[in-house]
Structures are given as C-alpha cells and as structure tokens.
Structure 1
C-alpha cells in the first residue's frame, strides 16, 4: 500500500508544520519496502531542512516529532542507490548551510537533526563536506556568511543537546576555516561566543563528548587572546566548582582539560606582558589564578598541541605536523618528482602564480598551469594528480618514466610559456608539437646533450669546464653565455663535448618589456673584457633567467657558500694561452681579463648549483658533495645603479637526494606566509629555516629560488577572486573529491 501524497504545509502562512511532517514520515517508515522516486526524495529532504529551520521549541518538546524524521533520513542515506544518495546528501547539506550562513536567519537548533546523515565515525567525510561548503559559500573577503554560520553553530552547541553529530560537524567546520586561514573569522566570532560556550560546561550531564571537544578546541586555540580570557574570567570559579563537586569520571575529565587550558592561557598572556602590565594582570585576575592553582594543572591536555589562532600578519612558529594544513602535494606519476618539485617552488613565487591564475586563463599552456595552480591553492584534498598539465608541458625529448633534470625542465618550461604569452587558448590543439623559439629548437634537435654535458641541466653552457653558465632567453640565437676557455671547476674532468660557438646577441634578444616571464625572472649580465697590454676593453650583454654556479678549486674540508659562489662567478678571469682575447686595438691575440656584473636584477633570482660532473673516462654523471652553507640572504655583484636592488632572500629550494643524477629523487623546501614546508611529491610536512643546512651529505640543494627584498608578496587569491571559469573548475574538482570520499565510505564492509 503506497503512502498517500499530501502537502507537508499545514497552515495558511505557508509555513511547514513539524507535526504533519513527522506523521507523514512515520507512515513512510512503517512501509520499509517503499520509497518515493529520486526527485521526490530530494524534495522531501529539502522540505525537512526548511521545516526544521522554522520550528520553535526545546529538545524535550520536539524530540517525539524529530524521531521519525531522523529515522527517515537515516534510512534514505543508507539504502538508496549511490548516485541518488550523493545527490540527496549534497541537497541536504547545501540547504542546511544556506540557512545557517544567512546573517539574517534565525534557524532553529532542531535543524541540526539533519546532520544524522553524516557518519560520526568518519571524520574525513565530515571534513571534506565542510571544506566544500566553506569554499562554495565563502561570501567574499568580509566573510559575512562564514561568521554567521560559525555563530549559529556555537549558539546551537550551548542551546541544543539532542544531536550528537553537532559537535562533530562544528569541529569539521572549524578545521575547514583553519585550512582556509580564516583566522579573522575564527577569532572574532569565537571571542563573541566564548563566554556562553565556557559556561555551558558547568552542567556536564547533557554535554556530548564531541561538543566538549569542540569547546576545548576553541579555548585552546584562543589561549593567546587576552580578550577571550577576560570574557570567561567571571565564569571560571562557578564552572570549576560545579565540575569538582561531581565525582564522576566525565566531570573529572572535563575539569582537568579546562584547568590545563586555562593555566596555559594565563602563562601565555603573562609571558607576552612586561613589567607593570604583568602586575596589573595578576591583580585583576588574582581570584582566577588562585582557583586554577588549587586544582593543579597537569599541563598534559592534548588540546594544547593545537596551534593558537593568530591573524595572518603574525609569524607562526613551527607547530604539530599532524595539524591540518592548506598545502597540497602532487602525485608522482612515475619519476615525475623533477616536475613536481619545480611547480611547488613556482607556486610560492606569489606574484608569478597569482598572475597566472588571474590573467592567463585564456593563453595556451598558461591556461593548463592556471588550473593546476588554482587547484593547488584551493583544493580541499591533500594531493592532486597533475597529469593533465604534465602531459602538455613535459619536454618532448624527455623519455617517459625516467628521471630527468629539474633545472632542464624549468628552462624548457619558461621557453614554452614565453613562446605562447601573447596567443589565444581558444580551440588550441595540444596534440600538435609546440612551436618554440630558436634556442628551444636547438635543444630539441640535440636531446643527447644532457647525457654528454658535465652538468645535467647545462646543455646551454658554452664549455664543459666553464665556471659560468647562463641560460638563454627563448628567441635568442645563442647560448647567451660568456666565451669559453676558463679554468676547470672543482672535480670536473675533460669531456668529449666540443666547446659551443660564441654568438652575438641582437638587440631583439634582450629583456622583452612585453614578456611577463622576463619581467619576473629575467636579468641582464654585463661582461667586460680588458686587454692587459693596451687596456682597451669591450662590453657585451647577455640575458639570463638563472645563474649556474660552479665550485672553485679549494682545499679539502673547505666550506663553500652560495654567496662565495656568486662572487666567484663574477670575479676576474684570465684569458691566456689557447683562450687569448683578440684585441682590435692591438690587432692580434692578447692576454686579457674578463669580469661580470649584473646590470639588470630580476625580481626572482634562480641559482643552479652545479653539483654534477661528467667523467669522460667512466662515461657517467657523478655528483659533487662539497661542504656547503646555503645562505638565506645573498647580495648580487651589480653595477652601481642596481646596488639598491641587489639583496635577495631565499624562499624555495629544490633538493636532489641521491648520489647519481639518474637515480636520485627531487623534493622542495619552500616558505609561504613565513612558514616553511617540505613538499615531497604528495606528502607535505612542516619544516623550519635551518633544515636546508642540516641535510645529509647526499641530499644537496640544487635549484635555489630567491626573492628581491623590495618585492612585496601578497597571499594567494581567494576562490571568489578567480575568473568564473576557473572557479567552476576548482569547485567541480572539490565536489568530485567529496563524492569520491563518500563512495569509498559507502563501499566499506
């Protein structure tokens, strides 16, 4: 017998009636073999959310009517077909969030009953759903919707004890805000509600475990807030006395956590104050401090491992690596770490990556990068598959599933991007080989150079034993390097590679003002050669996007540094013997001296340390593992006019781990918002500034990324700031991730 259809609205004001709703779904529950069609199910579930949001009453008054509604929802999400289930689940949460995120809404706490559709034992499922909703409905920089939703959930937590899943959902929502770094929303809204949250613990009987955990999470995260402590100070005595009067295990557990967290608040605030301010604080809160001393803090609460909430402009210390992060790793698709490591470094070059996602979404190859960067910025998952991007940007002379040189990939990527900077992406055919400028075509004709050169990424070097090597700008007809004939670098052997010819660069090959690549990474070298006989000199200019630094001959045990390698790179060299200079003034070959200075400094300075050498006898690439100090700040030797723009700070480093080029592994250390992270393919962990100089002997920094000190870096653009098409792609990616997580959960035995 089918359930008779009737309207779920029972009064003339068009307001849903919970009693009628409960009666209808009780009839439905009495027939376990019957469910309405899918679209009708979706509408029923949305009607439930709408009805509950407009209901009034306490838990006791509404409980009997809520039971059949919860039973129906639980039956739907556990029995219907997977695809329909996902649609229903999404419709429920979307409708639910539309009410709590509306600043004008006063949704009834009974609305929380719909959270029964979330499996309490599956924290990842709740977190992924919260991430999706936060990103979908961020409501602009002001975050009015985020504040409204968090405030609503707080209000329900201390008013409503009939939904165990409420605490679990609140924790997931807080974590989603933390991952999005919305600490302004968290601090402001939590301080406004902290007194009522704290006071609710005075009556532990109705308090659920997850609700208590949510309150502890908020208190511990606000432990550096003097305002939050002031808001709860008048309630501390009553709450602790009430908990201490109850000898039950639950009350004892709550009491100890509260004492530990409050004691940490007092200690932290006192530590931040100086002199008379400390005395004033102790006098003002003497009763609270005395009360805490009576209960003796164990200082062992696990909630104190949470990092305190701070606004973005405050430097965060190293924190517990298990705390969720808004950092995304990249899957290794078969020895693709050489590409993964480079992309992680380019992402934290914020002026570059921000321009890519905001301005280059309709440009060939750049558009593919904009999608990858946008997902790395706003994915709710912790790892991404970069196959779509890598399939079109991987150098055609790189073989599949083999390890390659990350420096070589970076140089090719820049050439590819610049070649298409001013093209349109509309109907672009990525199945056709890219058309690159002259320097790139030369490299593609001779893919074997990587195996023969003394440095894996140095096929554009002018000589196998030069101490200087400058990568060419795409479009140049030459290597863009100084002439050959220098003394050999440390440990390098004579190779079978003939010196490359010297070409003069035309004016067209200098930094292009219309090139974004050049504006970010391009610089100009000024090379001066002086005849030692007549002292006549000549000047030449070369464009670079990286400087490749060789190691000079030094005694055993000598410690090199990045700064010393830069100075060696620009120091005077003697041109004599077979490398004499043809002086036009003298009319013949003469001994000469050559020196280099930076005439135009790039915004981002890329340094490649020539850690590899080619042994012609063994016909293999070997690795130099010198003692090395990697400066976090360096000064470029520049012409006088560039002196004020010569200081750079390190923000990323690609590390090569291993003893040979072909069998090693690349990963990245990078700093973003004053916090260092280690990006090891799809695994991202916290790191610290000193880690770069504490690596084992076989893990050598290879590509160093420095930022000029006058360059101001902003934060990554929010999802709402991205172009609409890119927003849609990111949201579709996140929804797919949520659906995948649910499907995995639903297929578990």
Structure 2
C-alpha cells in the first residue's frame, strides 16, 4: 500500500482532489485483506469526512464516489476489532458534528453518507448516537452549535436525496433535543426552515417516508405557533391541491396527515384567540380555512399525539439547566425492587439529589450515590445497572435475592449517610463493614414511667432505660421485610413485644438542639415531635421531644368499607390517646400510677415529609397460638395529594404539604410481592417499575387494584421549591467523567449487539 494521505489534496493549493479520494478508497476496497494500523484507520475516516464536507456537486455527479465511500466504511466497522470500532465511529461522528455545527463551514450534503456507520434500522442505536452528539454540543453559548447543526440538517433534508438514512438521523437528532428540553432551539430553527420543508410535500414522488415523518413531526410540534403557521399559509392551498390530484396511496396518506395536522392547528389557534383578534385571524386565513373544509379531517393522526413544543423562559446566554424528559429505570438485580423504588423517589427529591451530585463527591457512600444520580439524570439509555451503588449500601442484615422492606432500607440508608457525611472519601475502604456513628443511632428520651415498665416497656414512646438503644429494631410492619414484626391496625403506638420500634433518632429535652444543624439529612427530612402526657387526676403534664425522619401511620378500627385518608391517619396519629390499665402513667406529682392522656404535635416540620402506612398486622392461629401469620390490610384508602400537619401554633404557616412520590407494594403477603414507584417531576407523573418507566398521572394513585397499596408517601412542604436538575456542564468532573464513560460504553454495546446479529 503506497497510497499516502497527502495525495488526497494538491500540495500547491488547498483544494480537494475528489478523484484522488475515490482512487484511494477504491484501492483500499480492493485490498480486502489489508487494513491500516488502528490510529491510521481512525485518521483516514476523519479525513474522509473532511473531504466530503469540502466537496461540491449533486447526487448524480458524486454517485460513484459515495458508493465507494459507503462500501469502505461498512467494511471497516464490520470487520475491525470491537476495541477500536467505537473509537472509529466516535471519531467519525465527532468530525461530522464539527462541520454541521459550524455555520460558516458550508458543508456539502454528501457528508451525510458517513452516517452509514449507524444502522438506522436500529432506532435505539441511532437515538443513542444523537443523544451523545447533543450532549457533546450543548456547551456553547445559548446552544449555538446545536442551532447551527439542526439548521444544516434541515437544509440537507430538502436539498439532498442521496442519503436514504438522512431522515431517520434528523428525526433522532430532533428527539434528542426534545429529551433535553431544548425547545427554544427546536422552535426557532424549525420555524426558520419550515417554509422550505413544507414545500417538499409538493413533490411526493421524490419524498421518502422518513423525510415525510420529520416534516409532519415538526408541523404537529409547532401547531401552537402563529409564526410557524404564517410561514406555510401561502403554500397550503397549492400543496393540498397537488396531493389531491394524485390518486396514489402514498399521496392520499400524505394528504390525510397534512389535513389532520393543519385542521388541528387552525382550530387550536382560533380557540386561543378571543373577540376581535379571533375574527381578524379568520378573515386573514379565510382561504386556508375553506380549503381545509373541502377535506375530511380524521382523529387518528399519530403525529397529533405528541406534545407541542413550548418555549421556556430561559436566559439565552446560559447553558441548559433543564432536566431531560427522558426517564431512566433501574435494573432489578434479583429482588432489588425495594431499593430501586426508594432511589427513584429520592432522585425526584430535587434539593436532595442535586446536593448529593454537586456537593458530596468526596464523601464516602454519598459519592457513590452522586454517580448513580448523575447517570440517572444524564444517561443516554433508559436502563441503568445500579450494582456498584447497591453493593456498598445494602444493609448487612439483608440477604441477597430475598425480598426486603423498602422503608427499612430507606431508614438504614439515612443512618449510613448521616454517619459519613463529614468524612473524606480519599482512600476509603469499601470492603470493610460500615460503622454507624453513635449520634445517628436511636437514643431514648427520659420520660415518666408507666405501670409495668420495670420489667418491660409497654409503649414505643416511653423509655425503658434497661433496654439498649441498639436492640430497637426497625419500623412497624413492612411488606417484604424478613425482620419486621407485627402490627395492630387499631393502635397508634404498639408495644415493643408486638412491633419493632422505628430507627428514629431521639434526643434529650435538655439538649440545646434537637436536629443536628450540621446534618444535611436532618436538614432535609428531620422534624421534631412534641409529646404531651397529662394526668387525668391532677392535670399535671410532662413533655418530651423526639426527632423523626418518617411518621409511621397506623389504621384505626373502623367498619368494613370505611374510607381512610392520609389526612385522617395523621390526625389519628396526633389525637389524644388514653393510658389506662396496664399502660397507666406514673405521675410525679401524685406519686402513684394514674390514668392519663397522651397526644402528639409536630413542633418542627421537615422540608420533605415521609409517611409510612402500616399495611400489615399479625393474626394468631386459633388452634396453634405459636403460629402467627402476617396479613395485609387492604383498606379502602384515599391518598391525599395535599395534607396539613397537626402542628404547634408557631409552625402552622409551614404545615401544608403536597405529594410528589409514592412507593407502592403490590402483593398480598409480607415476604413477597413487588415494589414500584409513582413520582412527579416537573408536573409530570411517571411510573418507575424497575427498568420500565412509563407516563402516568396523579389519579392513578387512587385507582390501583386492591392488592397494590401505597406504602411510603413522600410530601414536599409547599414553601420549598422543587429545584432543577443540574446540567451536564454543572456536574463535578468526577461525575461528568463517570456519566460520559457510561454513555460511551452503552453506545459500543449497542453497536456490538447490532454487528453480531445473524
């Protein structure tokens, strides 16, 4: 092989010799057993992109050259070792983007032939490549590179017919911009090019299906834009007439789609106007309206199912800070749905997840969570493997491949994070068991004794100093927990011999601070309960304060068919409770056991309120009392989307909350079933069912089947702003590198799967 790279360009002038390019590639194609060294191969492919970008001529003039280039590129990507295939394709796409993103480059449309390295029949693979380019190009001021790229692709779409895959690639690029909510770019560039795109429908003979799909997608997405309608209005009559005169199936299909979209556009614009403005619009476009009325609009147009593009109020000099519309699921690694569901809820707790990603990259365990969150925010795939994170945070008492309790996992995770939030991740050894610091474990408040307390505690709210805090087990009855105890549906607070006590951090009344001010966990999720016990004889009372990160809500005894609500369970939790018989109160003033009343109020409200509904209870076997069975309470329940916490008067202004996430338990038994999450992000609800994510709505929470019961409810205080997802550029270098590496690995995996197909 004596062909040298410099022979592609004349030595004495900066002009392309297309004949030399064709000869070089043809020579390479003839030598099927020879391939240049990897680095030279990558450079050759980049030079091919450069030469094509500087070429001139139409499809007929460049036909032979393009066939030769396609043959060469296909042979390369199908025969090189996978270790360099990704490098070659990435280099080609990177050089390709360099030309289309430069508004001064005037790149030849023939450059699009290099897209042959992508299999456009593999929609996910093409979309992942487009996502990668959008992510790479979202660095310039106001997305200037993305604007230039989309404009260039639109121009090629109506000027060039020599690349069959061009329409599929343009559609993928548009969808990648949609996923990143770059609607400002989509609207501006699409409106500017809409007139020429629309006229492509005037020639159905040369119009490809993929190009038509792009045009209809853009038209439907701009159906709320008066400016866009103004651009095409002068041409509507002629295009409709030309399509109507052709009786072919393809023209009829184009005509029907166009009539459907334009009719919906006109109807929407008319409805958005009132009075004189509406009359002026009808007068201005009277001919268009009459023309559309001659055709029968249908309601089955698939393009009208998509949401119209709506511009955001963004600063044009800043980078994009909007969250991608794409939602990422988590793979189930063997009954890990109890962890997946919790992580999805924490991700949409935006103040929390943003802090973790931006501020905690050098903290043990937090850094692992930050990398997982970063991938969930900016992955170009829709499925993630969370094994690296779960391997270090899974509670040691949880067994692999067994279903466990999502609430118990959440409680342990908070304890773990708080224990290490002021440590350094430098050279941290994750192979050693985690050590929970003493201040993050359960501590008991000293309170007046109740009857029988000398032998054992009879209330979860009352101290038994003989019992070490570390023996208190987690939370109330929980689905899927191998360690959870029983619950009584009619009791607000149940004795430890019947139920495990939640892992709530408690502090003494004489301590100056109840919530750790240096703890981000407490700052986000911590609140303070004020418990009052009043003697019914002398009316003296005692107060105690408990720090909580969740409230465990039991169900009162009610007739069958009674509809409980979250609000009623909260009020029941805080209502007065009689302490009588074995639960009598040791009154200090009376000096003897007395009947008493106990009540609870929220003294300090958390920013994010977590409620756990006690959906299980223990039933004793009639014939064998030692055999106890856990049964699920499937009460009729209304899950309020807005609640008010019973608080002390000083906290009344911060007592209102709105629901934004719920972990659901599907199943009828304690040790089985499945967890998934319903969550709202940017006013849109989604269902996160492990690696499958689908759109949902808030009404679904109250229309679940009987065995699917909301278990953990996440509420946001109404004075707390939701916050936005950090952009890729805002991520710390460590997180950026991890996300980019993950995305590149995914692209390579997709290509490898495609190339190994039979």
TM-score (norm 2): 0.89
1:637/1:646 contact within 8 Å kept: yes
For residue 699 of structure 1, the aligned residue among 708, 712, 718 is 708
The aligned runs of 1:495-534 (5 Å cut-off) are 504=508, 507=511, 510-534=514-538
1:404/1:662 contact within 8 Å kept: yes
Is 1:196 the counterpart of 2:196? The answer is: yes
Structure-2 separation of matches of 1:138 and 1:58: 32
Structure-1 separation of matches of 2:87 and 2:609: 49
Structure-2 residue corresponding to 1:423: 423
C-alpha distance 501-424 of structure 1, shift in aligned 2 (>3 A): closer
Structure-1 residue corresponding to 2:745: 736
For residue 594 of structure 2, the aligned residue among 585, 590, 593 is 590
Structure-1 separation of matches of 2:19 and 2:248: 38
Structure-1 separation of matches of 2:721 and 2:696: 23
1:638/1:646 contact within 8 Å kept: yes
For residue 650 of structure 1, the aligned residue among 634, 659, 674 is 659
For 1:421-480, what per-residue CA distance to the aligned partner results, in whole angstroms no more than 9, with x for missing partners? 11111110001111103487679x9999879965569999999669788xxxxxxxxxxx
The aligned runs of 1:272-351 (5 Å cut-off) are 272-311=272-311, 326-351=326-351
2:477/2:484 contact within 8 Å kept: no
C-alpha distance 333-232 of structure 1, shift in aligned 2 (>3 A): same
For residue 634 of structure 2, the aligned residue among 601, 610, 625 is 625
2:602/2:647 contact within 8 Å kept: yes
SS at match of 1:63: helix
The aligned runs of 1:119-198 (5 Å cut-off) are 119-139=119-139, 142-198=142-198
Structure-2 separation of matches of 1:501 and 1:231: 64
The answer to which of 32-41 and 633-642 deviates more is 32-41
Deviation of the 1:141 alpha carbon: 7.1
For 1:286-328, what per-residue CA distance to the aligned partner results, in whole angstroms no more than 9, with x for missing partners? 11111112233234332222222224589xxxxxxxxx95111
Structure-2 residue corresponding to 1:12: 12
Structure-2 residue corresponding to 1:565: 569
For residue 580 of structure 1, the aligned residue among 581, 584, 609 is 584
1:523/1:544 contact within 8 Å kept: yes
SS at match of 2:600: strand
C-alpha distance 660-73 of structure 1, shift in aligned 2 (>3 A): same
C-alpha distance 579-275 of structure 1, shift in aligned 2 (>3 A): same
SS at match of 1:606: strand
Deviation of the 1:240 alpha carbon: 1.9
Structure-1 residue corresponding to 2:391: 391
SS at match of 1:142: helix
C-alpha distance 574-146 of structure 1, shift in aligned 2 (>3 A): same
Structure-2 separation of matches of 1:193 and 1:131: 22
For 1:604-655, what per-residue CA distance to the aligned partner results, in whole angstroms no more than 9, with x for missing partners? 0000001111235532322111111100000001111111110000000001
C-alpha distance 455-164 of structure 1, shift in aligned 2 (>3 A): closer
Deviation of the 1:33 alpha carbon: 3.6
C-alpha distance 715-141 of structure 1, shift in aligned 2 (>3 A): farther
Two-structure CA RMSD over aligned residues (Å): 3.1
For 1:552-576, what per-residue CA distance to the aligned partner results, in whole angstroms no more than 9, with x for missing partners? 1112221110000001111111222
Structure-2 separation of matches of 1:80 and 1:495: 63
1:527/1:595 contact within 8 Å kept: yes
Structure-1 separation of matches of 2:200 and 2:486: 75
For 1:407-434, what per-residue CA distance to the aligned partner results, in whole angstroms no more than 9, with x for missing partners? 1110000000000011111110001111
Is 1:672 the counterpart of 2:707? The answer is: no
1:581/1:589 contact within 8 Å kept: yes
Residues paired across the two proteins, number: 719
Structure-2 residue corresponding to 1:480: none
SS at match of 1:193: helix
Is 1:723 the counterpart of 2:732? The answer is: yes
The aligned runs of 1:54-453 (5 Å cut-off) are 54-139=54-139, 142-311=142-311, 326-438=326-438
Structure-1 residue corresponding to 2:559: 555
Structure-2 residue corresponding to 1:472: none
1:678/1:686 contact within 8 Å kept: yes
SS at match of 2:8: coil
Is 1:610 the counterpart of 2:614? The answer is: yes
Structure-1 separation of matches of 2:574 and 2:484: 16
